[in-house]
Chains A and B, each alone.
Chain A
Amino acid sequence: MLEIHDLHVKLEDEDKQILKGVTLRVPAGEVHAIMGPNGSGKSTTSYVLAGRDGYVVTQGTATLNGQDLLAMEPEARAAAGLFLAFQYPVEIPGVGNMTFLRTAVNAQRKARGEAELSAGEFLKLVREKAKALDIDAEMLKRPVNVGFSGGEKKRNEILQMAMLEPTMCILDETDSGLDVDAMRLVADGVNALRSPERAFLVITHYQRLLDHIRPDVVHIMAEGRIVKSGGPELALEVEQNGYADILAEVADA
């Protein structure tokens, strides 16, 4: 599924290296979590994979099912099955949520050479998916993310994910700013999508999301590298002791 090898990334505008050799492999069917202190490069990893401007890859590779992600436009990556749930979902005034979703779904279908969904088919699908995420018709009519609460924005991201049915889902701090109930809704949404053909990369600060979305592998990221990988117990260790012990241990090694 997703293979990142020795990825080095610097900012375009200043000579600052953010990623310093990230290597990561997420096979189909698995859920991997990335944890790490602020500024360790977690969000940068997700942005670079999705194709955001402002970063320069100086070394390394990233492939999705063998396709060279870094050579593709953001929309091509999306059509190839990559999805990034944004940490800060963007507001688009005047554009109905439903219109946005439908445009996105059909753009991807078109890029893959599939027939576009009719209005009826789309409506049926979106209603069904929205219901599971406790998103009502009103929220579908409102402009994309405008005036949405933190929880609504994140649920909306998961709705997009459910509609687009990507194979590789990256969740960038989807739990930040969520109360317990909202987090459960989001986690249920993610769990419902788990399948042998789909992989997840969950970026988070906190163990608590991982109580709901149980990862197969936990990676600890620090200063632009994955410094340690392990099972779900690694997340618990972070929760109890913070990053200091792990980082010290890595430094000693």
Chain B
Amino acid sequence: MAALDMPELEVREGVDRETIETVASMGSYKYGWDTEIEMDYAPKGVSEDIVRLISQRNEEPEWMTEWRLAAFRRWQTMAEPRWAMLNYPEIDYQDQYYYARPKSMAVKPKSLDEVDPKLLATYEKLGIPLREQAILAGIEGAVGTPAEGRRVAVDAVFDSVSVGTTFQAELARAGVIFCSISEAIRNHPELVRKYLGSVVPQSDNYFATLNSAVFSDGSFVYIPPGVRCPMELSTYFRINAENTGQFERTLIIADKGSYVSYLEGCTAPKRDVAQLHAAVVEIVVLEDAEVKYSTVQNWYPGDEQGRGGIYNFVTKRADCREARAKVMWTQVETGSAITWKYPSCILRGDESQGEFYSIAITNNAQQADTGTKMIHLGKNTRSRIVSKGISAGRAQNTYRGLVTMHPRATNSRNYTQCDSLLIGDKCGAHTVPYIEVKNTSSRVEHEATTSKVDEDQLFYCRARGMDEEEAVALVVNGFCRDVLQALPMEFAMEAQSLVAISLEGSVG
């Protein structure tokens, strides 16, 4: 089948190499340490009182508290979805903390200079210096790359609160608002009220509804009409506290004709007990605007036996609300014990476009049920899905995707390519595509493959001098190339090393 509008993909030199070079120098989960810091916890469990407490800690206006409470009441009537191909013990929602804030953050520091040095050191150690300098989030290897000198603004979220946001002043000069969502609720209520919950409604699903009630912080972005955001924006999420869930909420609004590239990174310490992470990301894309959202998800995946790790239940959705709006999701999912995540595009505006590029790697006892939804509502809308699932160890990896062409979405097109790679014989790969076409002029294409890492390929690499892990990393990176190329260059490098690290011990 002919792929629609598929540009010829060129091999990007020097990318795979970085993986190989970093593999040897890195441990299996590099971010598993924790920060000893005094924390303020809300009492364990979730209730209306806890919801009020979170709202009050964030100094929110009354309407926001009411919004949260409405969500909480709704959530109490809902049941946890169990349709995903995921097997995990019952989550006790009353047996964890919903709010954990470093004591030093009780009074929000006015600038990064006032932030507790321990917190700053934490991000430093993660490779995310919060000084306003030319280093990209999460990318130590970025130094010395061609992009040296490029700047990235960072919002650093630590457990339940945003520690600080860099480059705010400079962004403000361009009219860009980049701050924590708690600040946005206080300082830009008109924007928040207009758009919060407009893409992922309070009642959307169990986890999104829980998030609507208890989200503590997250990032807020507004790009004014016609503005190309002068730098990449990023949020780095760090879970540190034990028995604590992280519920962050991100809201990005790209006004008419604007452009922004947004990066998200996340890590957590190694703990024996699983931890819940239920985030919501809403993106509103107006006429002729474009948003690129890239994630490298590296939450602690649990140990080889499947003890501990993050349960990652995330709702991410972009609404191409007006004509010719464009959104591109790219995700590299290597962490988490459980991943339940379907970044989606609502293609409402005529000629709007949605793209989804995904690499999901599961090793040991990890399970991932991930994919996307492309909802074509407008005429001449386009979507493209490229998913690469890699399973090793005893892991289970499911692609679940929905493509719908509504009656009004005439002359629309979707192209889906869904490839699975198996390493070893104890893991599983599953593909669950849902396709609904309700008009006669649209076209949907779906291609899927499943293959095993080829012994001949590995032998060929080894006969040329590479050891087995180098060989696997090289072959898997080749398998993921289409998606890696969709990432910003430095992110691609980090993703490549992650690919190698996530698969350590998967052979031999």
Residue pair B459, A96 in contact (C-beta under 8 Å)? no
Instruction: Specify the chain A residue showing the minimal Cβ separation from B460.
Output: A90
> B121 an interface residue at 8 Å Cβ cutoff?
no
Tell me which residues across on chain A come within 8 A of B12, comparing CB atoms.
Answer: 96
Once bound together, how far apart are the Cα atoms of A103 and B471, in whole Å?
A: 9
Instruction: Specify the chain B residue showing the minimal Cβ separation from A160.
Output: B464
Tell me which residues across on chain A come within 8 A of B477, comparing CB atoms.
Answer: 94-95
A3-11, A18-26, A73-81, A206-214 - interface stretch: A73-81
Residue pair B479, A94 in contact (C-beta under 8 Å)? yes
Residue pair B474, A100 in contact (C-beta under 8 Å)? yes
Residue pair B457, A94 in contact (C-beta under 8 Å)? no
Once bound together, how far apart are the Cα atoms of A95 and B460, in whole Å?
A: 13
For residue B206, give the distance in angstroms from its CB to the closest CB of chain A.
Answer: 38
Residue pair B17, A74 in contact (C-beta under 8 Å)? no
Tell me which residues across on chain B come within 8 A of A93, comparing CB atoms.
Answer: 478-479, 481
Once bound together, how far apart are the Cα atoms of A164 and B460, in whole Å?
A: 14
Task: With A99-B14, A119-B14 as known contacts, state yes or no: A50 contacts B463, CB within 8 Å.
Answer: yes
> A84 an interface residue at 8 Å Cβ cutoff?
yes
Residue pair A73, B467 in contact (C-beta under 8 Å)? yes
Within 8 A of A (CB), among B356-410: none
> B466 an interface residue at 8 Å Cβ cutoff?
yes
For residue A36, give the distance in angstroms from its CB to the closest CB of chain B.
Answer: 23
Once bound together, how far apart are the Cα atoms of A51 and B460, in whole Å?
A: 10
Task: With A103-B16, A143-B11 as known contacts, state yes or no: A74 contacts B462, CB within 8 Å.
Answer: yes
- Count of chain B residues with a beta carbon within 8 Å of a chain A beta carbon: 32
Within 8 A of A (CB), among B452-508: 454-457, 459-468, 470, 474-475, 477-482
Residue pair A142, B11 in contact (C-beta under 8 Å)? yes
> A56 an interface residue at 8 Å Cβ cutoff?
no
Residue pair B462, A95 in contact (C-beta under 8 Å)? no
> A167 an interface residue at 8 Å Cβ cutoff?
no
Task: With A89-B460, A94-B11, A94-B478 as known contacts, state yes or no: A104 contacts B466, CB within 8 Å.
Answer: yes
Among the interface residues B16, B461, B465, which one has the most CB atoms of the partner chain A within 10 A?
A: B465
> A247 an interface residue at 8 Å Cβ cutoff?
no
Task: With A99-B11, A103-B17 as known contacts, state yes or no: A74 contacts B478, CB within 8 Å.
Answer: no
For residue A50, give the distance in angstroms from its CB to the closest CB of chain B.
Answer: 5
Tell me which residues across on chain A come within 8 A of B462, comparing CB atoms.
Answer: 51, 73-75, 78
Main secondary structure of the interface of A (DSSP, over half): helix
> B126 an interface residue at 8 Å Cβ cutoff?
no
Tell me which residues across on chain B come within 8 A of A84, comparing CB atoms.
Answer: 463
Task: Identify B16's interface contact among A89, A91, A95, CB under 8 A.
Answer: A95
Instruction: Specify the chain B residue showing the minimal Cβ separation from A93.
Output: B478
Once bound together, how far apart are the Cα atoms of A97 and B11, in whole Å?
A: 9
Instruction: Specify the chain B residue showing the minimal Cβ separation from A97.
Output: B11
For residue A82, give the distance in angstroms from its CB to the closest CB of chain B.
Answer: 8
Residue pair A78, B464 in contact (C-beta under 8 Å)? yes
Once bound together, how far apart are the Cα atoms of A91 and B10, in whole Å?
A: 16
Contact with B along A103-115 (1 / 0, CB 8 A): 1111110010000
Once bound together, how far apart are the Cα atoms of A53 and B458, in whole Å?
A: 11
Tell me which residues across on chain A come within 8 A of B20, comparing CB atoms.
Answer: 103, 106-107
Which 8 pairs from chain A and chain B are nearest by CB?
A: A94-B478, A96-B11, A94-B481, A95-B478, A108-B465, A104-B464, A90-B460, A74-B462
List 23 A-B residue pairs with CB atoms under 8 Å apart, sorted by A's residue number: A51-B463, A52-B459, A53-B455, A74-B463, A78-B462, A90-B454, A90-B460, A92-B461, A93-B478, A95-B11, A96-B13, A98-B11, A99-B11, A99-B13, A100-B464, A104-B466, A107-B464, A107-B466, A108-B465, A141-B10, A141-B11, A143-B478, A164-B465
